[in-house]
């Protein structure tokens, strides 16, 4: 049973639009929430991560929003570009050096 | 040169065959992981190792075994491959100042006929 539920499974956005991916978790002991980006034929790579003591973290066009009370977090990709087309995975960790991954979201940015 | 390498990159085998997937890293990390990726299921942890003498089962270890030959090498074996082990397999490392970040290899696409 997946400990982190991710939606949607896929999304299509126009260039310049906003992509939003949502994740939900049950275990309140999770203390680290990263997002990984995977391009076709490549392994996933860390994109951005957040800890539960902050509600938002922004790096360039990528923002994580974290809602501790709702046990949800989301990735927002602002001004989406064709180069952002990839599969995105959310994950969570119990400070035990293991990650529980969501099922992934394939993002397609149309030019 | 890539920090985490996997061999082979692609492999087709038959049901019942034994197969080994190899992973090597030059990052000097202590922690190494094996995952399988299936469409719609994300990444599932098969085995992980926090040092050469430490091997642990992950979520889906049945049908798999591992060997940590050295700090830099971590191999995954399928003793008797079956078709539902057809998947994309990733090795990852972690350690040093990277806290919980994991660094993934390029993957091995395995097909079991």
pLDDT per position as a tens digit, A19-51: 999 999 999 999 999 999 999 999 999 999 999
Q: Supply the mean pLDDT for chain B.
A: 95
* pLDDT above 70 for A90: yes
Contact A43 B106 (CB under 8 A): yes
pLDDT confidence tier of residue B1, bands split at 50, 70 and 90: low
Contact A49 B43 (CB under 8 A): no
pLDDT per position as a tens digit, B66-112: 999 999 999 999 999 999 999 999 999 998 777 789 999 999 999 99
Tell the residue number behind the tokens 């990444």, with chain if given: B43
pLDDT of residue B97: 74
pLDDT of residue B89: 98
Q: Among B42, B48, B106, select the one facing A89 at the smallest CB separation.
A: B42
- A64's CB contacts (< 8 A; 6+ apart) are A33, A35, A48, A49, A50, A56, A57, A58, A73, A74, A75, A76
* pLDDT above 80 for A95: no
Length of chain A: 111
- What chain A residue is nearest to B91 in terms of C-alpha separation? A43
- What chain B residue is nearest to A89 in terms of C-alpha separation? B42
Q: B81 to chain A nearest CA, in Å?
A: 23
Dihedral class, residue B98 (left if φ above 0, else alpha if ψ from -120 to 50, else beta): alpha
Extract the tokens encoding B28. 């000097």
Contact A49 B101 (CB under 8 A): yes
Q: Among B31, B40, B41, select the one facing A97 at the smallest CB separation.
A: B31
Q: Among A43, A46, A104, select the one facing B107 at the smallest CB separation.
A: A43
CA distance A12 to B99: 33
Q: Which of B74, B76, B108, B93 is nearest to B4 (CA)?
A: B93
Mutate to test the interface with A, among B30, B42, B90 (most CBs of A within 10 A): B42
Q: Among B43, B58, B101, select the one facing A89 at the smallest CB separation.
A: B43
């Amino acid at each position: 049973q997946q400990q982190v539920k991710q939606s949607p499974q896929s999304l299509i956005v126009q260039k310049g639009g906003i992509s939003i991916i949502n994740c939900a978790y049950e275990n309140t002991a999770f203390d680290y929430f990263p997002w990984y980006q995977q391009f076709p034929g490549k392994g996933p790579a860390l994109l951005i991560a957040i800890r539960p003591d902050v509600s938002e973290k922004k790096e360039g066009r990528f923002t994580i929003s974290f809602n501790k009370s709702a046990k949800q977090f989301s990735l927002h990709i602002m001004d989406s570009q064709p180069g952002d087309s990839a599969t995105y995975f959310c994950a969570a960790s119990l400070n035990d050096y293991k990650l529980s991954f969501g099922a992934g979201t394939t993002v397609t940015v149309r030019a | 040169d890539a920090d985490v390498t996997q061999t082979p990159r692609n492999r087709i085998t038959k049901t019942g065959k034994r197969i080994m997937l190899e992973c090597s890293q030059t990052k000097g990390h202590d922690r190494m992981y094996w995952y399988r990726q299936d469409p719609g299921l994300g990444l599932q942890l098969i085995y992980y190792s926090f040092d050469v003498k430490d091997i642990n089962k992950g979520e889906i270890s049945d049908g798999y075994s591992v060997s940590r030959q050295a700090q830099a090498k971590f191999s995954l074996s399928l003793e008797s491959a079956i078709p539902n082990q057809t998947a994309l397999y990733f090795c990852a490392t972690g350690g040093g100042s990277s806290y919980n970040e994991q660094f993934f290899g390029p993957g091995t696409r395995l097909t079991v006929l």
